[in-house]
Structure 1
């Protein structure tokens, strides 16, 4: 999907770092089961995004991705009641869950869009356009772009929302880093990785427009 080699590698690194962090957090001995599930989902999401920026990413089966990320959205919506410690209030739990739910749904949507692109083009060598998709790409940076108003609008909206989430996570990481008693590896790295994931996804959606 990303034609510019340099940008492709930058995005790959931006997505693989959160994936590695999530896998490391999953293996930590002090993690609750609910937290482990969340970290596994984040690792899968980051790995899928890293794959999507490469030409072979469109060849990955979309059905399993859509299923996993849709179930992931449901999990994050329900997860606050299983987390330890539990949120102080339902509103606090909902506020913490919404960004992760949106990111999972955004992944499911992107997998569906990419699947439509691969199907309409007949695979890697195809040359047929699909409705709402410009196979030539919107510029030198990409090999495909959205041309339908509905899909473009969705991509722009997701990009704006994900950028907001990313900036909020960055602010959270900076706030935690300023607290002398904060354990930096655990408390600061997690929101930083969430921010990297959200901002990388936002950039990817912008490139599709």
Structure 2
């Protein structure tokens, strides 16, 4: 097994655990409101897609529908931050941007994989993929790299913040504002661990070769 396969295997284990966690949170009676449940279901779908993405048997579903789905999910997080009077609250929108970035990264990866698959099929041989890719305009390639790098940096920063913020208080739950409704409630002390782990795993996947 190559080093790349080892990393992909570790990421698949992480995302599989995130799938179980997301499903538990989605069906839990402690999840506040329908918006929170939708959030957890979207995270579960993303974790499931990420768990199978690196492997050859993971391409059962075509990439374009996945790109559309996760692009819509990226829009869901900021647009669903509206309050009871349908007003978008800047603070809530800002708190939901990292989740939107994760979904956007997933959409970006599936879009890139769809393009790579198209080039490979057109070329017929793996060697032809490189020649087909080299035919792309340099500006397009640079822009694509810039988008991927920006998403990876944002997710890495959020992962670092999430994984370190609650370190002194992991033994006791705290009253904090929930992501789903903005209303105060008891939050699991390891919630930010899962959020940070997902962000870190997504950033690594962005930087890995596809």
Q: Assess if the C-alpha contact under 8 Å between 1:59 and 1:118 holds in 2.
A: no
Q: 1:189 to 1:132 in 2, by over 3 A?
A: farther
Q: If you compute each CA radius of gyration, which structure gives the higher value, 1 or 2? A: 2
Measured in 1, the distance between the counterparts of 2:155 and 2:96 equals 14
What's the counterpart of residue 150 of structure 1? Answer: 143
Superposition CA RMSD, Å: 3.0
Q: Assess if the C-alpha contact under 8 Å between 1:103 and 1:198 holds in 2.
A: yes
Gaps of 5+ in 1: 84-88, 134-146
Aligned pairs for 1:14-93 (under 5 A) are 14-31=14-31, 32-58=33-59, 60-81=61-82, 90-93=89-92
TM-score by length of 1: 0.78
TM-superposed CA distance for 1:191, in Å, is 1.3
Tell me whether 1:110 sits opposite 2:105 in the alignment.
no
What's the counterpart of residue 95 of structure 1? Answer: 94
Counting matched residue pairs gives: 188
TM-score by length of 2: 0.77
Measured in 2, the distance between the counterparts of 1:59 and 1:114 equals 13
What's the counterpart of residue 174 of structure 1? Answer: 167
Measured in 2, the distance between the counterparts of 1:46 and 1:132 equals 32
TM-superposed CA distance for 1:112, in Å, is 0.5
TM-superposed CA distance for 1:132, in Å, is 5.8
Gaps of 5+ in 2: 176-185
Structure 1 stretches of at least 4 aligned residues deviating more than 6 Å after TM superposition:
none
What's the counterpart of residue 137 of structure 1? Answer: none
Q: Assess if the C-alpha contact under 8 Å between 1:62 and 1:112 holds in 2.
A: yes
